[in-house]
Homo-oligomer: A and B are copies of this chain.
Amino acid sequence: MKSIKIFAPATVANLSCGFDVLGCCLDTIGDEMIISITEEPGVKITKIEGADLPFETHKNVAGVAVESFLSAYGKDIGVTIEIYKKIKAGSGIGSSAASSAGAVWAINHLLGNPFTPQKLVEFAMQGEKLASGNAHADNVAPALLGGFTLVRSYSPLDIIKLHSPKDLVMTVIHPQIEVKTSDSRSVIKHNVTLKKAIQQWGNVGGLVAGLFTEDYDLIGRSLEDVIIEPLRSILIPEFDTVKKAAIQKGALGAGISGSGPSIFALSKGMKTANDVADTIKDIYSKTGIDFDIHISKINDQGVKIIN
């Protein structure tokens, strides 16, 4: 039996202007998983700690992602999965993506990397489909490739790894409220004005350029979402106050992580990220809502082996 223990990272998707296409990988928050290849064929989830998730393979995102992997791999091998969940479900920082991405990355590693990271994204997307009904890639891509990623296209799937300036630090607040997926979807409009769409793709271009040139100011100026954030932010208590305060404390920009309710603020340097965290804590402490705060550098590696 071959076995590895891995860190399966949390991720921040959307990144303001980059709705549905951009995401980045975190370093200090993530699940742990132990994945093993066994002699007896079949996928088994043998342990789940930290969350109330199904053990049935076809109902578990990691199980579904692994089945998708094995179906392409073609050989009848056995896999056992242990999940030590640290990322809370429904937090908006890629909880399901971490499990899907972690599981397929680990098996690929144990088998001598028969598949490219791009292909692993496809398998992990099947887990996302189970979790949300939509096989989106904007969390599993950064979890698997690390750093900042762009989903240029879904048909065909085309994932681009961008450059990660090393001083970027994320502060993420997770307010422990439930935002129903149906609510966070229903506020989005199917049509947008061309004018706003142009503003948005100008900012996407600026953000990508800022990442490659390590122009932190440009990154900050580009972290602007004129389409989704104005609609979705009303579902997140104190969003505007948190965003404004984070930027006043020196954050380059702030926005909704995934479909919320987590809010991210991106800063240059750990000191600013800590200051931003303190400010957000102050604001949220007054609301009576429980919350977690995460501070993390960008994890340029993605899923990784731990002891």
Q: List 28 A-B contacts (CB under 8 A).
A: A19-B201, A21-B202, A150-B205, A151-B202, A152-B202, A152-B203, A152-B218, A152-B221, A153-B202, A153-B221, A160-B218, A163-B212, A191-B191, A191-B193, A191-B194, A192-B192, A192-B197, A194-B227, A197-B200, A197-B201, A197-B227, A201-B201, A204-B204, A204-B208, A208-B212, A209-B212, A212-B212, A212-B213
Q: Is A158 an interface residue (CB 8 A)?
A: yes
Report the bound CA distance from A22 to B46 in whole Å: 53
**Is there contact, CB below 8 Å, between A160 and B198?**
no
A205 touches B153 (CB 8 A): no
Proximity string of chain A (222-261) to chain B, C-beta cutoff 8 Å, 1 when within and 0 when not: 1000010000000000000000000000000000000000
Per-residue CB contact flags for chain A residues 177-204 toward chain B (1 = under 8 Å, else 0) read 0000000000011111111011111111
Closest-CB distance, A258 to chain B (whole angstroms): 15
Instruction: Tell yes or no: A20 within 8 A of B by CB.
Output: yes
Chain A residues 108 to 156 lying within 8 A of chain B, measured CB to CB, are: 150-153
Beyond contacts A152-B221, A190-B193, A212-B212: 4 other A-B pairs, Cβ-Cβ < 8 A, are: A19-B201, A160-B205, A190-B194, A194-B227
8 smallest CB-CB distances across A and B, nearest first, come from: A152-B206, A212-B212, A201-B201, A197-B197, A208-B208, A201-B204, A21-B202, A150-B205
Q: Does A169 contact B (CB under 8 A)?
A: no
Whether B218 lies near A18 (C-beta < 8 A) is no
Closest B residue to A163 by beta carbon equals B212
Q: What residue of chain B has the Cβ atom nearest to residue A222's Cβ?
A: B152
**How far is the CB of A284 from the nearest CB of chain B, in Å?**
31
Which residues of B have CB within 8 Å of A17? 201
CA distance A83 to B212 in the complex (A): 39
Q: Given the complex of chains A and B, what is the CA–CA distance between A208 and B213 in angstroms?
A: 11
